[in-house]
Amino acid sequence: KISPIMDKESKFFHFMELLRKGVPSMKKKQFLIFWLTLLLFSVFHIPIAFAQPTIPIILDGQPLVCDTPPFIEQGVTLVPLRTVFEALDATVTWDANKQTVTGQKDATVITLKVNDTNGYVGERKVSLAAPAQNKQGRVFVPLRFIAESFGCDVQWDSASPQITIESRTLEVSPT
């Protein structure tokens, strides 16, 4: 009998021992199909169970292409920092020693530190729903905070689901 606590290697050797001892022909086929199905399920179900759907982000009517997919944590969409800063025409600097990112567009300066629940817009401290995060060597930042700090309108469409960002451009009328 197979213990539920047995590891995969032990289960495999137990399976091989049962086959060696001899299982009636029909039972052997059923037994083999069962174990192969179990093996395939155990190998492939984990990545599928944890995969998140991609989150389309539209910036001024154009899709924002991220080299690493955004993800949602604590209800906040986090995106690769360089992708969002550069798409919003901001310069970005990364201080690896301090784990801090700084983005600047015109007179607006945003500073975030990895795993800190506070961000800064200029000297103003802003509480974040989710901090910037370092995942697998990539730093992800909260999209709404970055975009709105640079003066953009951000809309979440839960039906799609999709995020739409519109830059606010001020029209100057000739006088």
pLDDT digits (tens, 9 = 90+) for 13-54: 666 676 666 655 556 677 777 767 766 666 555 544 455 567
More confident residue, 49 or 59: 59
**Could you give the CA distance from residue 164 to residue 108 in angstroms, rounded to a whole number?**
21
pLDDT for 163 equals: 92
pLDDT over 60 (residue 76): yes
Indicate whether 66 pLDDT > 90.
Answer: no
Kindly tell me if the per-residue pLDDT of 93 is higher than 60: yes
Where is 109: in which H helix or E strand?
strand 108-113
Q: What is the token pair recorded at 87? A: 């798409």
Q: What is residue 136's predicted lDDT score, i.e. its pLDDT?
A: 82
Say what the pLDDT of residue 24 is: 55
Confirm if 111 and 145 have CB atoms less than 8 A apart. Answer: no
Predicted confidence (pLDDT) at residue 172 exceeds the cutoff of 50? no
> Euclidean distance between the first and final Cα of the chain, in Å?
89
Q: How far apart are CA 28 and CA 97, in angstroms?
A: 60
Q: What is the H or E stretch that residue 166 is in?
A: strand 162-166
